[in-house]
Structure 1
């Protein structure tokens, strides 16, 4: 099967689905092409992405990269979104059976839909947009200008595009609810396939050499063996509620409990975290270097929004703490806990559940095993492949002349 994976954003060295899934599909024997402008993640929000935008030249680069071919294309702006230059000709030259597009109502999906009418491939869309991460004004009852704007800018466009899309793949049931309610995708055209984790590099500290590395990282951070380390990783934006964890750890320390917090990342909230004496801040590190930090920790916590890092932390044998508003809780049943969203006292009580090292170790063993068996990227790629093949790929092809 020949697959084209179209995504506006792409940055080497990160663990996003766009970096890992195409390579795993290629490892399964499919011919995979990534078509991208290499824009940084969250490029539409200057407060959420870091780095520089690539230039808008008329370049077109092609390179082989671990089981797939990456095509870097130029782009042009369309408001806050972009169009990929030369996308039709690129798809024509690849002649794919399937095109996977990351996005539900984007102009790039519109380009792919137009190409489908002439080239005849199947389109699958993919999304990780969580319902709980959408603006509160969209999720609350009543009519508002925010809802009216969403109706015309997302719902109608998404509903129209969905006529040409075979399936929309969401990483959780929560994501499916979001695309149905706010992007107009018919529920019958949706399917849930989880995000994954690279269990080759994310695994617990068990053998002696890895245990030594755990202690070395803790020592470099000024953390003793007796302290209980709570780790958070990601982009430090207001929507992530990182201060809830920092405040909870600070208060537990004042009560005599040896908790510390380690935050790995960067963003606007970084300055606020500096006032907490029991919080250590580390800059962004390449994805491949994150396992060492997880293995140096004892607990992982994300106070608000879900992230693929939760799977990475579980694979490293850490209990994970999430918001009680997170709907995909089946992944962490018996290997993690929830706390009341935004409530520092609730976060403190939940952290205290993992004060005992024996309990942490037992849960960590179960967490790592579950990730290996059900959430490794190899397993997830095979689920994607079964879904793509089950839809009659290339049964009907238009002829382009």
Structure 2
């Protein structure tokens, strides 16, 4: 089967769906290609990334970077050359990512007059769908009124990566249940798995005693992640250390340090700079609990694969991450809720152990990219 993924953006060496799903499909014996743009997304526009147009290869998958054109920063990006490239590749399946975008009509026009099956996926979660400008509101209204009905008539199915997206497809975009498939985000279980050696070495390097409880909060750290609530919640615990791992701007870090200082727990917090994706498992293995009281991030799923019990925001976008009794859900940024969860773990070591075992089982059976890739092929064939 020849599969073409139309995707913007594509950032190499990350843990996102586009980094792993096409590669795993290729390992299953399929002919897989990715078409993307040369545009750097706003959140990665820090001088570390720039892309040339041309043909590249990542994880064994050919990646075609065409010239992209963006409006209002990176909010809307078109890839005009994608239509010709898709038609030249003559795929059996076109998998179009970011449904509510310029990529959707491009994908549809690419499939017209061909035998290619056409699937669209939706990645909306509890923090990334924001109609916060007039332009975005206008684009969304135009899409739902003029574009979406035509797309549904020409598609072979829609793919939701979480339950929030599933509900959005049904309730907001009026997609029939029978046309919606659930395909969660996952983790690379060859890279992310429990490892006692990594735990001991990394805790020693961080200066954390082996019998202390280490919390980890990782990703692109910004206000949507509600990091401040985590700091406030650990002030009553003597043996808890919080590791904040990832990119964070100076202003927000100073704000968090001020909160920690006012609570006299600055020594209980470790700020650690961003590390390469291949090194993340060391820090997840060093920790005892992962905590994300804000929006969903792929890092949560990777932590689960390392056997971390997790404390996460209560949302349709996140509930699949704790579906095997491997953590707790809390009201967003609710300090009391976080304190209660931590108390349960601190006072009951067997609970921590049970949730850890359940996390590993969930990752292996449902949230491994190997399993997800096989399911994606089943979806393509059934459409």
TM-score by length of 1: 0.84
| Residue 379 (str. 1) matches residue 363 (str. 2) | no
Unpaired segments ≥5 residues, structure 2: 261-265
Deviations 1:25-81 (A, max 9, x none): 0001100001112544xx2xx4676446646xxx64223433421112121234442
- Assess, with a 3 A threshold, how the Cα gap between structure 1 residues 153 and 237 changes in structure 2: closer, same or farther: farther
Q: Return the alpha-carbon distance in structure 1 between the equivalents of residues 201 and 137 of structure 2.
A: 54
Equivalent residue runs for 1:114-193 within 5 Å: 114-131=109-126, 133-135=128-130, 149=138, 152-156=141-145, 157-193=147-183
Match of 1:273 in 2: 256
Match of 1:244 in 2: 229
8 Å Cα contact 1:48-1:267 kept in structure 2: no
Match of 1:399 in 2: none
Q: Return the alpha-carbon distance in structure 1 between the equivalents of residues 136 and 187 of structure 2.
A: 35
Match of 1:88 in 2: 83
Q: Return the alpha-carbon distance in structure 2 between the equivalents of residues 150 and 81 of structure 1.
A: 9
Of the three residues 49, 54, 60, the one matched with 1:61 is 54
Match of 1:229 in 2: 214
8 Å Cα contact 2:39-2:69 kept in structure 1: no
- Assess, with a 3 A threshold, how the Cα gap between structure 1 residues 327 and 65 changes in structure 2: closer, same or farther: closer
- Assess, with a 3 A threshold, how the Cα gap between structure 1 residues 324 and 115 changes in structure 2: closer, same or farther: closer
Q: Tell which deviates more after alignment, 311-320 or 172-181.
A: 172-181
Q: CA deviation at 1:104?
A: 1.1
Match of 2:263 in 1: none
Q: Return the alpha-carbon distance in structure 1 between the equivalents of residues 49 and 108 of structure 2.
A: 26
Deviations 1:98-153 (A, max 9, x none): 11111112112211211212444221111221256544x89xxxxxx899647514
| Residue 261 (str. 1) matches residue 246 (str. 2) | no
8 Å Cα contact 1:11-1:39 kept in structure 2: no
- Assess, with a 3 A threshold, how the Cα gap between structure 1 residues 77 and 48 changes in structure 2: closer, same or farther: closer
| Residue 304 (str. 1) matches residue 276 (str. 2) | no
Q: Return the alpha-carbon distance in structure 2 between the equivalents of residues 69 and 111 of structure 1.
A: 20
Q: Return the alpha-carbon distance in structure 1 between the equivalents of residues 139 and 68 of structure 2.
A: 25
8 Å Cα contact 1:11-1:38 kept in structure 2: no
TM-score by length of 2: 0.88
Match of 1:398 in 2: none
Paired residue total = 369
Deviations 1:155-201 (A, max 9, x none): 22334322222111011222111233344544432111111111111
